[in-house]
Chains A and B, each alone.
Chain A
Amino acid sequence: MSPTHRRSAASRHDAASGRRAGSRPGAAVLGVVGELLLTAGVLVLLFLVWQLWWTDVVADREQSGIIDGLEQEWGTVDEEQIAPRQDGPPPVPDAPEEGKVWATMHVPAFDRPRFPLAEGVDLESVLNVKGAGHYPETALPGEVGNAAIAGHRNTYSRVFEDIDRLEPGDSIVIETADAFYVYAVTESLIVMPQDVEVIAPVPGEPGVEPEDRMLTLTACHPMYSARERYIVHAEFAYWTDRADGIPEALAADTSATESPASDAGGED
């Protein structure tokens, strides 16, 4: 290459970089803004991954540990044995202290049929970690009044994910150290978050003296939103002694594999 050629190439290069240099401050700012926007997008995606997946992973691990611990503390139940229904008033558990897991819940209609029940409805110390939470100051299982229980529906192990599957007559069972309390669903409602009368001692009628033993579940609604609340009311059906085995309501669960076959046989 001759010096002239090289010079002309160099000057072309200078000219090109000169044009770029003219718009450089703007381009640099735009570049940083673009990178920040991309970063923000990635952060939002990561937040969703955390909220919708990782909280489940952590809470599932925590809850299976809690259930294992309770099994050890309470002893195992003979799942082959169907306990007879007890007549007479059910025993009422001692008032549990805030944050303590004092029961487990069984809902055969749910994909996750068993989960812990703790005292309190604080998000960070109870509902996000331990499972379902019992509203303090509401009745305890077996007590006349309305035992109200809250749970997550989309995150943190989503114990009430399938709450909209419950239909009248479906069983909700609470297991304590001593007894199984079987409740039968009476109705499902969608209410606004401030409608606290659903957890009144007589559901929907605050101030009225209760005569029945009720149970109320509350969860958010619609899915992935906290705009409304999904409410399920259930009425006490019967209780069984934990030492006698499992209640009939949970036995149907284990024989579920057999009954469709026999149903099919009946149809033929």
Chain B
Amino acid sequence: MYGWLWRRLPGPTWVRMLLVLVLLAAVIVALFGWGFPALARYLPFDDGLVGAAGSESLIPRS
């Protein structure tokens, strides 16, 4: 899979290395910016609310 990608990249080794770094950076930016925030919605391991997560119906009216 990665071997195939490496063979697909054009240019000499150093250009390929550079391209790989750019691709990696793009993937990380995409994950940190959109991927992980979207995923975190389904993994609320830091939910400090009482009542159901995100549901205000369980919070007693004063």
Contacts and interface: CB of A to CB of B under 8 A. Distances in A.
Interface of A: 31-32, 35-36, 43, 46-47, 50-51, 54, 121-124, 127, 135-139, 145-146, 150-156, 160, 191, 193-201, 206, 218-220, 224-226, 229-231
A265 to B, nearest CB: 42
Contacts of B48: 127, 150-153, 160, 218-220, 226, 229-230
Nearest to B3: A31
Given A35-B1, A226-B46, A122 B54 contact: yes
Chief secondary structure at chain B's binding surface: loop
Nearest to A58: B32
> How many interface residues does chain B have, given as a range?
20 to 34
A156 B46 contact: yes
6 contacts: A137-B56, A196-B60, A201-B60, A220-B45, A224-B45, A230-B48
B50 A198 contact: yes
Contacts of A225: 45
Given A138-B59, A194-B51, A198-B50, 7 more contacts: A47-B39, A138-B62, A153-B46, A193-B49, A194-B58, A218-B48, A226-B53
Contacts of A219: 48
Contact of B50 (A32, A46, A139, A218): A218
Nearest to B36: A50
Contacts of A146: 62
A220 B47 contact: yes
A198 B41 CA distance: 25
Contacts of B58: 194, 196
A229 B31 contact: no
A246 B2 CA distance: 61
Contacts of A199: 50, 59-60
